[in-house]
Amino acid sequence: MTTYGVDRYGTAGGDIGIYMSAADANSTLLALEHIDQSAGLDPVLAKLRESIKAALVTKSSGDTDSAPSSGE
C-alpha cells in the first residue's frame, strides 16, 4: 500500500502539498479521466484532475523545486 504525505500544517485556506510518485499521479489522472468519460466529474474532482495535470507538466519540465521527485 502506498502512503501519501500531506502537509497538514499549512495556513487555513492556503495550499497543501500531496506527495506521490509520478506513476501514482498518472494512475490517478487516468482514473479521473475514465470517470469523467463515463459519468462526468464533480467540479471538485475536476479541479483535482487539473492540479495533477499541472504538477505532471511541471515535473516533466524539470522544475524540481515545484515538483518533488518520486524518489523523495
Q: Which helix (H) or strand (E) holds 5?
A: strand 5-6
pLDDT in tens, 13-41: 778 888 899 999 999 999 999 999 999 99
Q: Which pLDDT value is given to residue 64?
A: 58
Q: Which pLDDT value is given to residue 70?
A: 46
What is the value of pTM for the model shown? 0.65
Which residues on adjacent β-strands are paired with residue 6? 18
Q: Sort residue 21 into left (φ over 0), alpha (ψ -120 to 50) or beta.
A: beta
Q: Which pLDDT value is given to residue 15?
A: 80
Q: Between 47 and 10, name the one with better pLDDT.
A: 47
Domains in the chain: boundaries: 20-64
